[in-house]
Amino acid sequence: MTLGEYIREKRAAMALSQPQLAEQIGIEQSYLSKLENDKSLPSNDVFRRLLNAIETSLPNFVAAFSAEELQQLTAIADIEHFVKQKNQKQQRHSAVLVLSLSFIFALGAACFYAGFQALCFPEKLYQYQSQGVVLPGESAFVFTDWDRYFPISMGSDEAIRQSINAKAEQEQLMYKRLAQISELSFEHKGEYYILPVAGGSRTFMYKGGHKVERVGNTVLQLLGLFLMVFSTVLSFGRKKLYNL
């Protein structure tokens, strides 16, 4: 659409003749005829009076034209200013959108990496086992080292017999005290750790570990993949939109 076509269309919609519209604008009919035939462009003052006469706001006027058609009308100061403001606003929105999409993509990549590397939800499960309660004053490793304190005597037969009996009695005592419990942890606590309990403490010894699948890591990977694809699709959509 050209400016002349727009004026003729509005004049017809308002059922006004050329002389009537020219009078409302405050210009000569011959000048209005030139405008309607696209042989001239109005000054900024005449353009403002034209909008008042046809009861149209500047945004509504601009909305009736394509970007290429508006470019031909930027010789009119109000239109040039409006188009510049619109372009600047679009550029700001575009910059914010680019930053937002970049952040979403980076967040998605971080989520995917965290899930893939099991950074938030460790997948190795460690087993620790305690043989029983260690009494106050005893070695933390009494259940494994107790026999060191009952060596077999190398003296007389009687001494040997007594040392064997003492060791056997201690072995039975330690057997009665056995109360094994195991704990599983996703945190490696070293080769052993000591936990205070009623009547003493328990020494938990490391027994090994094995890998387990954790739903949290799968969710993180899926979420990360979704965010990366989502931001990429929006980015291509933005480029296509601004190239129209």
CA torsion sign for 10, 16, 22, 25 is negative
Residues 37, 56 share a domain? yes
Please give the average per-residue pLDDT across 231-243, as a whole number: 75
Residues 142, 192 share a domain? yes
Residues 128, 206 share a domain? yes
Residues 18, 64 share a domain? yes
- Who has greater pLDDT, 231 or 157? 231
Dump the DSSP string for 141-184: THHHHGGGGSPPP-S-HHHHHHHHHHHHHHHHHHHHH---EEEE
If pLDDT is split at 50, 70 and 90, which confidence band does 168 have? Answer: confident
Quote the pLDDT of residue 108: 96
Q: Is the pTM of this model over 0.85?
A: no
Residues 128, 112 share a domain? no
Residues 45, 57 share a domain? yes
Residues 51, 104 share a domain? no
Residues 138, 91 share a domain? no
| Mean predicted lDDT score pLDDT of the chain | 90
Residues 151, 171 share a domain? yes
Residues 114, 189 share a domain? no
Find where tokens 């003052």 sit. Answer: 45
Give the Cα separation of 82 and 44 in Å (integer): 13
Give the Cα separation of 193 and 130 in Å (integer): 10
| DSSP type of residue 79 | H
Residues 91, 44 share a domain? no
Taking 80 as the threshold, does the pLDDT of residue 139 lie above it? Answer: yes
Q: Which three-class secondary structure state does DSSP give residue 221?
A: helix
Residues 129, 206 share a domain? yes
Q: Which of 11, 46, 75 is the last residue of a domain?
A: 75
| DSSP type of residue 34 | H
Please list, residue by residue across 103-140, b when 16 or more beta carbons sit within 10 angstroms of its beta carbon and e when fewer do. ebbeebeebbebbeebeebbeeebebbbbbbbeeeeee
Q: Which amino acid is at 85?
A: Q
Taking 60 as the threshold, does the pLDDT of residue 241 lie above it? Answer: no
Looking at the structure of the chain, the number of domains it has is 3
Taking 80 as the threshold, does the pLDDT of residue 151 lie above it? Answer: no
Taking 90 as the threshold, does the pLDDT of residue 91 lie above it? Answer: no
Quote the pLDDT of residue 26: 93
Write the CATH number for 15.
1.10.260.40
Q: Looking at beta carbons, which pairs linking 32-35 to residues 24 or more positions away fall under 8 Å?
A: 32/7, 35/3, 35/4, 35/7
Tens of pLDDT, residue by residue over 178-193, are 999 999 999 999 999 9
Please give the average per-residue pLDDT across 20-41, as a whole number: 93
If pLDDT is split at 50, 70 and 90, which confidence band does 242 have? Answer: low
For residue 189, give its domain range: 124-212
Tens of pLDDT, residue by residue over 43-79, are 999 999 999 999 999 999 999 998 888 888 999 999 9
**Chain center to CA of 151:** 65
Dump the DSSP string for 89-137: HHHHHHHHHHHHHHHHHHHHHHHHHHHHTTSSS--EEEEEEE-SEEPTT
Please give the average per-residue pLDDT across 149-167, as a whole number: 77
Quote the pLDDT of residue 105: 95
If pLDDT is split at 50, 70 and 90, which confidence band does 239 have? Answer: low
Q: Which amino acid is at 66?
A: S
Quote the pLDDT of residue 243: 54
101, 231 Cβ separation under 8 angstroms? yes
